[in-house]
Amino acid sequence: MRWDAQRLDLEDPATLPGMPSIRGLLRTVQVPEFPGLTFHEVRSKSALNHVPGESAMPFPWTINPYRGCSHSCVYCFARRTHEWLELDSGHDFDSQIVVKTNLVDVLCKELHRPSWQREHVALGTNTDPYQRAEGRYRLMPGVIRALTESGTPFSILTKGTLLRRDIPLLAEAARSISVGLGVSMAIWDDELHAALEPGVPTPRARLDLVRAITEAGLPCGVFMAPVLPGLTDGTAELDAALGAIAAAGATGVTVIPLHLRPGAREWFMAWLARAHPEFVPRYEQLYSRRAYVPAEYRTWLSRRVAPLLAKHGLDRQPGGTARGAGDRIAAGVPGDEEVGFPAGSLPAHGLPGVRPAARRAPAPAPGAARTTGQLSLLPP
């Protein structure tokens, strides 16, 4: 595995016996509190990851405390990153979790460099910082304190209700710096949720998290992601979801269709073939050209969502500025250049290092959709 320059050779009775020698590994442990998970503790050389300058992302820096994710979302776009560690993007991604145990110490040093410009730092753009491992390692309180004390604005995107533990810290941080918070949810059917995201807290638990965040006076945008063509894009499902999100007090919402990168694509399509083989031809055609759904589907989804946003008061920004439905339908996922970010999920505009949102081509006007073979795949 690729663990170069991270070895500490500490001895610990919790270390697994008979493990193969892994160069650069601090230790590998399994503990009864987290059955089925293996934690690979490593020493990280850096905490801050620079986003390439040509990227349209509205943040120049990210932090990833963990690699791999116990949420086990079948559709997770980050799965292929595990292959860089010579682990597979399927079961290994779900169960072999890399923990940067010295992350907070390294971050503090980086934030105290004279060259640090206090630019926006994003967490949760790859794997979730509040996945189950955080309950053991408690890295996030130290990260939040370090960013706050250095005057660095930051944002967090999560599916993990463990963030509730840190709401007092976040509220304290928001008194001196700008903080953005986002929660991701889109699958409301209990059976589908258990099949596709078995390690994620229920949608109801995440709605309670949104409510707790906003009741603490903090912003919270919701990423309604991913919407699954044919499975969760019905009017009734979308209406119920947006109504629940609005009732929880979300400050904004972005609707994001399923995105299938290599790695996630194979894992998801294998599940689809088992659970819903009748949808396989449609998905193969929808995603035949790229990882995103085609523009025709986004246009169709925009038209379906627009009246629902208006119905639940989610078609306006804070301050009452109306938004078009096309502004709320994003092509990709958080971390991709084509995604939109809901109000509240990013620090306030105008801060150093907060890049403007990428401009997207406007959605075609009603009746102006192109006539292509993809249109036959859209429901009426």
Structural domain contains residue 332:
yes
Structural domain contains residue 104:
yes
Provide the pLDDT for residue 134. Answer: 98
Q: What is the rounded CA–CA span in Å between residue 212 and residue 202?
A: 15
Structural domain contains residue 122:
yes
Structural domain contains residue 316:
yes
One-letter amino acid for residue 11 of the chain: E
Q: What is the rounded CA–CA span in Å between residue 23 and residue 238?
A: 48
Q: What is the rounded CA–CA span in Å between residue 378 and residue 153?
A: 41
Q: What is the pLDDT of residues 83-100, one digit of tens each?
A: 888 888 889 999 999 999
Whether residue 170 contacts residue 195, with contact meaning beta carbons closer than 8 Å, is answered with no
Structural domain contains residue 54:
yes
Q: 3-class SS at 88?
A: coil
> CA 289 from chain center: how many Å?
24
Tokens of 242: 């947006």
Provide the pLDDT for residue 8. Answer: 41
Tokens of 78: 């980050």
If one counts the domains in the chain, the total is 1
Q: Name the stretches of the chain with pLDDT < 70.
A: 1-25, 54-56, 316-339, 349-380
Q: What is the pTM of this model?
A: 0.84
- Residue 161: domain span: 27-350
Tokens of 221: 């945008």
219 Cβ contact partners less than 8 Å away, ≥ 6 residues apart: 179, 180, 181, 213, 251, 343, 344, 345
Whether residue 287 contacts residue 265, with contact meaning beta carbons closer than 8 Å, is answered with yes
Provide the pLDDT for residue 341. Answer: 86
Structural domain contains residue 357:
no
Q: What is the rounded CA–CA span in Å between residue 239 and residue 74?
A: 24
Structural domain contains residue 159:
yes
Any idea what the CATH number is for the domain that residue 40 is in?
A: 3.80.30.30
Range list of H helices, the chain: 91-95, 103-111, 133-137, 140-149, 167-174, 190-196, 203-215, 235-247, 264-275, 280-286, 295-311
